[in-house]
């Protein structure tokens, strides 16, 4: 059964969900891992220009703690560590796609809102 929301609980849960992906780098990391992609640390570092190793490590750890990303350690020499989305993390993809579509509407609707017919002061 789906949770029943009030305005307050909906706002609180939406804010908590957004906190999981907020920040400069988390969305870039997630978009690099969507679609079942498995990437090594060095690959992520190469695909995210401007991120430091320290920041990438911190963000990956936080995404792992939050349950969005899984860290896979291959016990070999040299050590090999890969990252991929968890099932729950992957389920975020349609929500982000919907958010992108919503944002695209901004320009379309903004052009309608400023038309002479709508400015009847």
**pLDDT, tens digit (0-9, with 9 covering 90-100), for 9-38:** 999 999 999 999 999 999 999 999 999 999
Say yes or no to pLDDT of 62 above 80.
Answer: yes
Say yes or no to pLDDT of 41 above 80.
Answer: yes
**Cα distance between the two ends of the chain:** 48
- Average per-residue pLDDT for the chain: 92
Would you call 39 helix, strand, or coil by DSSP?
Answer: strand
Angle between helices 26-33 and 7-21 (to 10 degrees): 80
Tell me: cis bond preceding 78? Omega within 30 of 0 counts.
Answer: yes
113 pLDDT band, cuts 50/70/90, is: confident
Q: What is the mean pLDDT of residues 72-91?
A: 95
**Residue 2: what pLDDT?**
87
**What domains lie within the chain, and their CATH numbers?**
19-112 (1.10.10.10)
**Residue 117: what pLDDT?**
54
């Amino acid at each position: 059964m789906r949770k029943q929301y009030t305005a307050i609980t909906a706002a609180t849960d939406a804010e908590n969900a957004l906190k999981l992906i907020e920040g400069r780098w988390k969305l870039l990391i997630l978009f690099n891992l969507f679609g079942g992609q498995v990437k090594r640390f060095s690959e992520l570092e190469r695909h995210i220009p401007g991120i430091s190793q320290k920041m990438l490590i911190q963000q990956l750890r936080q995404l792992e703690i939050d349950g969005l990303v899984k860290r896979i350690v291959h016990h070999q020499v040299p050590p090999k560590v890969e990252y991929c989305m968890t099932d729950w993390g992957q389920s975020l993809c349609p929500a982000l796609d919907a958010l992108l579509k919503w944002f695209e509407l901004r320009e379309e609707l903004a052009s309608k809102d400023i038309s002479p017919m709508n400015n009847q002061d």
